Amino acid sequence: MHPWNEPILESVRKRLSRLPHALLIHGVRGVGKLALAEQIAQLLLCETEAIAKKPCGACTGCRLFVAGNHLDFRRIEPEALQKEPPPGEEPVEGPAKRAKPSIEIKVDQIRALEDFLNVGSHRGKLRVALVHPAEDMNEISANALLKGLEEPPAGAVFLLVSHRPAQLLPTIRSRCVALPVPLPAQEIAKRWLEAQGAKDGARWLAYAGGAPLRALDYAQDSTNLERLLRAPGPVDDRDDLEPLVDALQKIALDRALSAFGLPPKYGASTTKVKNGHAWLTYARRLGEERLLCRHPLSPKLFSGDLLAGMPKG
Protein backbone atom coordinates (compact mmCIF):
# COMPACT_ATOMS: atom_id res chain seq x y z
CA MET A 1 0.00 0.00 0.00
CA HIS A 2 1.13 3.55 -0.61
CA PRO A 3 2.30 5.62 2.37
CA TRP A 4 -0.18 8.48 1.91
CA ASN A 5 -3.11 6.07 2.35
CA GLU A 6 -1.91 4.54 5.62
CA PRO A 7 -4.01 6.97 7.75
CA ILE A 8 -7.13 5.82 5.88
CA LEU A 9 -6.35 2.17 6.62
CA GLU A 10 -5.80 3.09 10.26
CA SER A 11 -9.21 4.80 10.41
CA VAL A 12 -10.82 1.63 9.00
CA ARG A 13 -8.97 -0.54 11.52
CA LYS A 14 -10.30 1.55 14.41
CA ARG A 15 -13.89 0.81 13.41
CA LEU A 16 -13.55 -2.84 12.36
CA SER A 17 -16.12 -3.94 14.94
CA ARG A 18 -18.75 -1.64 13.42
CA LEU A 19 -17.68 -1.67 9.80
CA PRO A 20 -20.60 -1.31 7.34
CA HIS A 21 -21.43 -4.13 4.96
CA ALA A 22 -20.35 -2.05 1.94
CA LEU A 23 -17.63 0.55 1.41
CA LEU A 24 -17.39 2.76 -1.68
CA ILE A 25 -13.67 3.58 -1.98
CA HIS A 26 -13.50 6.47 -4.45
CA GLY A 27 -11.16 9.11 -5.80
CA VAL A 28 -9.36 10.10 -8.99
CA ARG A 29 -7.29 7.56 -10.90
CA GLY A 30 -3.79 7.04 -9.66
CA VAL A 31 -4.10 7.59 -5.90
CA GLY A 32 -3.83 3.92 -4.90
CA LYS A 33 -7.47 3.06 -4.24
CA LEU A 34 -7.14 -0.56 -5.36
CA ALA A 35 -4.07 -1.20 -3.21
CA LEU A 36 -5.92 0.35 -0.26
CA ALA A 37 -8.96 -1.85 -0.91
CA GLU A 38 -6.74 -4.94 -1.03
CA GLN A 39 -5.18 -3.98 2.31
CA ILE A 40 -8.63 -3.50 3.83
CA ALA A 41 -9.68 -6.91 2.50
CA GLN A 42 -6.56 -8.56 3.95
CA LEU A 43 -7.12 -6.77 7.26
CA LEU A 44 -10.66 -8.17 7.39
CA LEU A 45 -9.37 -11.68 6.70
CA CYS A 46 -6.28 -11.51 8.93
CA GLU A 47 -6.49 -14.17 11.66
CA THR A 48 -4.13 -12.67 14.22
CA GLU A 49 -5.84 -12.06 17.56
CA ALA A 50 -4.16 -8.73 18.23
CA ILE A 51 -5.61 -5.87 16.17
CA ALA A 52 -2.64 -4.26 14.45
CA LYS A 53 -2.38 -1.20 12.24
CA LYS A 54 -1.87 -3.46 9.22
CA PRO A 55 -2.53 -7.12 8.36
CA CYS A 56 0.06 -9.26 10.13
CA GLY A 57 1.24 -10.93 6.93
CA ALA A 58 2.20 -14.11 8.80
CA CYS A 59 -1.06 -15.88 9.70
CA THR A 60 -2.67 -18.47 7.43
CA GLY A 61 -5.32 -16.01 6.30
CA CYS A 62 -2.73 -13.42 5.24
CA ARG A 63 -0.57 -16.01 3.47
CA LEU A 64 -3.56 -17.36 1.53
CA PHE A 65 -4.62 -13.82 0.59
CA VAL A 66 -1.18 -12.82 -0.66
CA ALA A 67 -0.94 -16.06 -2.65
CA GLY A 68 -4.31 -15.33 -4.25
CA ASN A 69 -5.86 -18.52 -2.84
CA HIS A 70 -8.09 -17.26 -0.02
CA LEU A 71 -11.46 -18.99 -0.36
CA ASP A 72 -13.26 -16.19 1.49
CA PHE A 73 -12.18 -13.49 -0.98
CA ARG A 74 -13.45 -12.70 -4.46
CA ARG A 75 -12.17 -9.99 -6.79
CA ILE A 76 -14.54 -8.94 -9.57
CA GLU A 77 -13.18 -6.88 -12.45
CA PRO A 78 -13.40 -6.76 -16.25
CA GLU A 79 -11.66 -9.55 -18.17
CA ALA A 80 -9.33 -6.92 -19.66
CA LEU A 81 -7.89 -6.26 -16.18
CA GLN A 82 -7.65 -9.84 -14.98
CA LYS A 83 -4.12 -11.23 -14.69
CA GLU A 84 -5.32 -14.82 -14.70
CA PRO A 85 -8.62 -16.72 -15.10
CA PRO A 86 -11.09 -16.65 -12.18
CA PRO A 87 -11.07 -19.71 -9.86
CA GLY A 88 -12.47 -22.78 -11.57
CA GLU A 89 -12.09 -21.45 -15.11
CA GLU A 90 -9.60 -22.85 -17.59
CA PRO A 91 -7.72 -20.70 -20.11
CA VAL A 92 -9.60 -20.42 -23.40
CA GLU A 93 -8.09 -22.37 -26.27
CA GLY A 94 -8.48 -22.02 -30.03
CA PRO A 95 -9.92 -19.09 -31.99
CA ALA A 96 -11.82 -17.65 -29.00
CA LYS A 97 -8.49 -16.84 -27.38
CA ARG A 98 -7.90 -14.14 -29.96
CA ALA A 99 -11.08 -12.24 -29.05
CA LYS A 100 -10.54 -8.98 -27.18
CA PRO A 101 -11.31 -9.41 -23.47
CA SER A 102 -14.37 -7.62 -22.17
CA ILE A 103 -13.92 -4.15 -20.69
CA GLU A 104 -17.17 -4.47 -18.69
CA ILE A 105 -18.04 -6.40 -15.56
CA LYS A 106 -20.55 -8.97 -16.78
CA VAL A 107 -23.72 -9.99 -14.99
CA ASP A 108 -22.51 -13.61 -14.76
CA GLN A 109 -19.55 -12.42 -12.69
CA ILE A 110 -21.90 -10.70 -10.22
CA ARG A 111 -24.34 -13.63 -10.09
CA ALA A 112 -21.45 -15.96 -9.33
CA LEU A 113 -21.03 -14.05 -6.06
CA GLU A 114 -24.38 -15.37 -4.76
CA ASP A 115 -23.08 -18.87 -3.98
CA PHE A 116 -19.88 -17.41 -2.53
CA LEU A 117 -21.66 -14.94 -0.25
CA ASN A 118 -24.41 -17.25 0.92
CA VAL A 119 -22.26 -20.08 2.23
CA GLY A 120 -20.35 -20.14 5.48
CA SER A 121 -16.84 -18.79 5.79
CA HIS A 122 -14.08 -21.33 5.15
CA ARG A 123 -11.78 -19.73 7.70
CA GLY A 124 -14.37 -18.63 10.26
CA LYS A 125 -13.96 -14.92 9.45
CA LEU A 126 -15.79 -12.67 6.99
CA ARG A 127 -16.38 -13.14 3.27
CA VAL A 128 -15.11 -10.21 1.20
CA ALA A 129 -16.04 -9.25 -2.37
CA LEU A 130 -13.97 -6.53 -4.06
CA VAL A 131 -15.47 -4.93 -7.21
CA HIS A 132 -13.08 -2.86 -9.33
CA PRO A 133 -13.74 -0.49 -11.03
CA ALA A 134 -17.37 -0.48 -9.94
CA GLU A 135 -18.47 1.88 -12.74
CA ASP A 136 -17.45 -0.77 -15.29
CA MET A 137 -20.57 -2.75 -14.44
CA ASN A 138 -23.21 -2.55 -17.15
CA GLU A 139 -26.81 -1.84 -16.19
CA ILE A 140 -27.74 -5.50 -15.77
CA SER A 141 -24.74 -6.39 -13.62
CA ALA A 142 -25.19 -3.22 -11.53
CA ASN A 143 -28.77 -4.19 -10.74
CA ALA A 144 -27.65 -7.72 -9.87
CA LEU A 145 -25.13 -6.31 -7.38
CA LEU A 146 -27.77 -3.98 -5.98
CA LYS A 147 -29.82 -6.98 -4.88
CA GLY A 148 -26.90 -8.22 -2.76
CA LEU A 149 -26.35 -4.76 -1.29
CA GLU A 150 -30.02 -4.42 -0.37
CA GLU A 151 -30.15 -7.82 1.35
CA PRO A 152 -26.55 -8.42 2.46
CA PRO A 153 -25.79 -11.90 3.80
CA ALA A 154 -24.48 -12.05 7.35
CA GLY A 155 -20.71 -11.86 7.53
CA ALA A 156 -20.28 -10.50 4.01
CA VAL A 157 -18.48 -7.25 3.14
CA PHE A 158 -18.48 -5.49 -0.24
CA LEU A 159 -15.58 -3.24 -1.23
CA LEU A 160 -16.42 -1.15 -4.29
CA VAL A 161 -13.55 0.78 -5.88
CA SER A 162 -14.55 3.63 -8.18
CA HIS A 163 -12.78 6.30 -10.22
CA ARG A 164 -16.10 7.92 -11.19
CA PRO A 165 -18.71 7.24 -8.47
CA ALA A 166 -21.22 9.59 -10.12
CA GLN A 167 -21.62 6.96 -12.85
CA LEU A 168 -22.87 4.37 -10.36
CA LEU A 169 -26.58 3.87 -9.76
CA PRO A 170 -27.76 6.25 -7.01
CA THR A 171 -29.27 3.25 -5.25
CA ILE A 172 -25.86 1.56 -5.13
CA ARG A 173 -24.19 4.69 -3.75
CA SER A 174 -26.91 5.06 -1.12
CA ARG A 175 -26.25 1.55 0.22
CA CYS A 176 -22.51 2.07 0.66
CA VAL A 177 -20.52 4.14 3.11
CA ALA A 178 -18.25 6.42 1.10
CA LEU A 179 -14.53 6.26 1.80
CA PRO A 180 -12.85 9.06 -0.19
CA VAL A 181 -9.18 8.76 -1.13
CA PRO A 182 -7.76 12.26 -1.74
CA LEU A 183 -4.67 13.31 -3.65
CA PRO A 184 -1.53 13.20 -1.49
CA ALA A 185 0.43 16.35 -0.71
CA GLN A 186 2.64 17.29 -3.64
CA GLU A 187 5.91 16.92 -1.72
CA ILE A 188 4.94 13.44 -0.52
CA ALA A 189 4.06 12.44 -4.09
CA LYS A 190 7.34 13.85 -5.44
CA ARG A 191 9.41 11.96 -2.86
CA TRP A 192 7.57 8.74 -3.68
CA LEU A 193 8.16 9.20 -7.43
CA GLU A 194 11.82 9.85 -6.79
CA ALA A 195 12.03 6.64 -4.75
CA GLN A 196 10.48 4.76 -7.70
CA GLY A 197 13.19 6.07 -10.00
CA ALA A 198 10.82 8.18 -12.11
CA LYS A 199 12.62 10.65 -14.35
CA ASP A 200 11.27 14.22 -14.37
CA GLY A 201 8.75 13.25 -11.70
CA ALA A 202 7.55 16.82 -11.05
CA ARG A 203 6.72 17.31 -14.74
CA TRP A 204 4.66 14.12 -14.95
CA LEU A 205 3.03 14.72 -11.57
CA ALA A 206 1.68 17.99 -12.98
CA TYR A 207 0.54 16.17 -16.14
CA ALA A 208 -1.25 13.63 -13.92
CA GLY A 209 -3.05 16.35 -11.98
CA GLY A 210 -1.27 15.35 -8.77
CA ALA A 211 -2.01 11.59 -8.93
CA PRO A 212 1.32 9.83 -8.24
CA LEU A 213 0.56 6.39 -9.71
CA ARG A 214 -0.58 7.96 -12.98
CA ALA A 215 2.51 10.16 -12.93
CA LEU A 216 4.68 7.05 -12.64
CA ASP A 217 2.91 5.46 -15.62
CA TYR A 218 3.36 8.66 -17.62
CA ALA A 219 7.06 8.85 -16.72
CA GLN A 220 7.55 5.27 -17.91
CA ASP A 221 5.77 6.06 -21.20
CA SER A 222 7.30 9.51 -21.60
CA THR A 223 8.62 8.99 -25.16
CA ASN A 224 5.19 8.12 -26.52
CA LEU A 225 3.48 10.89 -24.54
CA GLU A 226 5.95 13.54 -25.69
CA ARG A 227 5.24 12.48 -29.27
CA LEU A 228 1.50 12.78 -28.70
CA LEU A 229 1.89 16.24 -27.20
CA ARG A 230 4.16 17.48 -29.99
CA ALA A 231 2.17 16.11 -32.92
CA PRO A 232 -1.13 14.39 -32.05
CA GLY A 233 -2.50 12.36 -34.94
CA PRO A 234 -5.12 9.68 -35.75
CA VAL A 235 -4.58 6.22 -34.23
CA ASP A 236 -5.52 2.78 -35.56
CA ASP A 237 -5.71 0.85 -32.30
CA ARG A 238 -8.45 1.22 -29.68
CA ASP A 239 -5.86 0.95 -26.90
CA ASP A 240 -4.16 4.11 -28.19
CA LEU A 241 -7.35 6.20 -28.15
CA GLU A 242 -7.54 7.02 -24.45
CA PRO A 243 -3.93 8.32 -24.24
CA LEU A 244 -4.65 10.49 -27.29
CA VAL A 245 -7.89 11.89 -25.85
CA ASP A 246 -6.15 12.43 -22.50
CA ALA A 247 -3.36 14.40 -24.20
CA LEU A 248 -5.78 16.46 -26.31
CA GLN A 249 -7.88 17.35 -23.27
CA LYS A 250 -4.85 18.48 -21.29
CA ILE A 251 -3.59 20.52 -24.25
CA ALA A 252 -7.02 22.16 -24.57
CA LEU A 253 -7.27 22.99 -20.88
CA ASP A 254 -3.74 24.43 -20.74
CA ARG A 255 -4.45 26.58 -23.80
CA ALA A 256 -7.74 27.77 -22.34
CA LEU A 257 -5.96 28.76 -19.13
CA SER A 258 -3.28 30.65 -21.06
CA ALA A 259 -5.96 32.55 -23.00
CA PHE A 260 -7.49 33.65 -19.69
CA GLY A 261 -4.08 34.83 -18.44
CA LEU A 262 -3.52 31.89 -16.10
CA PRO A 263 -0.53 29.51 -15.90
CA PRO A 264 -0.93 26.05 -17.49
CA LYS A 265 -1.95 23.29 -15.09
CA TYR A 266 -0.69 20.16 -16.84
CA GLY A 267 2.41 21.35 -18.70
CA ALA A 268 0.87 19.93 -21.88
CA SER A 269 1.07 23.13 -23.96
CA THR A 270 2.76 26.53 -23.84
CA THR A 271 1.16 27.77 -27.06
CA LYS A 272 -0.46 31.18 -26.66
CA VAL A 273 -4.04 31.34 -27.96
CA LYS A 274 -6.78 33.95 -27.87
CA ASN A 275 -10.03 32.01 -28.06
CA GLY A 276 -10.12 30.56 -24.56
CA HIS A 277 -13.84 29.80 -24.66
CA ALA A 278 -13.44 27.67 -27.80
CA TRP A 279 -10.63 25.66 -26.20
CA LEU A 280 -12.65 25.21 -23.01
CA THR A 281 -15.65 23.99 -25.04
CA TYR A 282 -13.35 21.57 -26.88
CA ALA A 283 -11.96 20.27 -23.57
CA ARG A 284 -15.51 19.64 -22.33
CA ARG A 285 -16.36 17.79 -25.53
CA LEU A 286 -13.29 15.59 -25.05
CA GLY A 287 -14.44 14.82 -21.50
CA GLU A 288 -17.71 13.50 -22.92
CA GLU A 289 -16.07 11.66 -25.81
CA ARG A 290 -13.63 10.02 -23.42
CA LEU A 291 -16.33 7.63 -22.27
CA LEU A 292 -16.98 6.62 -25.88
CA CYS A 293 -13.36 6.06 -26.88
CA ARG A 294 -13.47 2.55 -25.40
CA HIS A 295 -16.19 1.50 -27.86
CA PRO A 296 -15.38 3.09 -31.25
CA LEU A 297 -16.53 1.48 -34.49
CA SER A 298 -13.35 2.79 -36.11
CA PRO A 299 -10.52 4.17 -33.93
CA LYS A 300 -8.98 5.98 -36.91
CA LEU A 301 -12.22 7.74 -37.88
CA PHE A 302 -13.06 8.50 -34.24
CA SER A 303 -9.66 10.03 -33.50
CA GLY A 304 -9.64 11.89 -36.83
CA ASP A 305 -12.99 13.48 -35.97
CA LEU A 306 -11.67 14.61 -32.57
CA LEU A 307 -8.59 16.14 -34.14
CA ALA A 308 -10.66 17.90 -36.81
CA GLY A 309 -12.68 19.59 -34.06
CA MET A 310 -9.59 21.21 -32.48
CA PRO A 311 -9.94 25.03 -32.42
CA LYS A 312 -7.70 26.94 -34.82
CA GLY A 313 -6.60 29.79 -32.63
Q: Quick one: pLDDT at residue 257?
A: 94
Q: Quick one: pLDDT at residue 296?
A: 63
Highest mean pLDDT among 90-104, 264-278, 281-295: 264-278
Which CATH number applies to 3-180?
Answer: 3.40.50.300
The average pLDDT across 137-148 equals: 93
Q: Quick one: pLDDT at residue 124?
A: 79
Per-residue pLDDT tens over the stretch 165-189:
999 999 999 999 999 999 999 999 9
Q: Quick one: pLDDT at residue 94?
A: 45
The average pLDDT across 72-88 equals: 74
Buried b (16+ CB within 10 A) or exposed e, 182-210: ebbeeeebbebbeeeebeebebbbbbbbb
User: Counting beta carbons within 10 angstroms of the beta carbon of residue 285, is it exposed (0 to 12), middle (13 to 18) or buried (19 or more)?
Assistant: middle
The average pLDDT across 208-230 equals: 93
Q: Quick one: pLDDT at residue 103?
A: 82
Q: Quick one: pLDDT at residue 280?
A: 94
Q: What are the Cα distances from residue 226, in Å, to 16, 105, 152, 218, 310?
A: 46, 33, 48, 10, 19
The average pLDDT across 97-117 equals: 82
Higher-confidence position of 30 and 116: 30
The average pLDDT across 225-243 equals: 88
The average pLDDT across 243-259 equals: 93
| Residue 15 confidence class, pLDDT cut points 50, 70, 90 | confident
Of 29-38, 226-235, 286-295, least confident by mean pLDDT is 286-295
Orientation of helix 241-259 relative to helix 222-230, angle to 10°: 50
The average pLDDT across 54-68 equals: 91
| Residue 97 confidence class, pLDDT cut points 50, 70, 90 | very low
Q: What are the Cα distances from residue 205, in Å, to 20, 94, 171, 213?
A: 34, 43, 35, 9
Q: Quick one: pLDDT at residue 19?
A: 86
- For residue 211, is pLDDT > 90? yes
Phi, psi of 157 (to 5 degrees): -130, 130
Contacts of residue 275, defined as CB under 8 A and 6 or more positions apart, other chains included, come to 259, 311, 313
| Residue 35 confidence class, pLDDT cut points 50, 70, 90 | very high
- For residue 99, is pLDDT > 70? no
The average pLDDT across 201-228 equals: 93
| Residue 92 confidence class, pLDDT cut points 50, 70, 90 | very low
Chain-centroid distance of CA 20 in Å reads 22
The average pLDDT across 281-310 equals: 86
User: What is the model's pTM?
Assistant: 0.86
Average pLDDT, the chain: 88
Question: CA-based angle 175:179:182, to the nearest 5?
Answer: 145
The average pLDDT across 133-151 equals: 93
**What are the start and end residues of each CATH 3.40.50.300 domain in the chain?**
3-180
- For residue 90, is pLDDT > 50? no
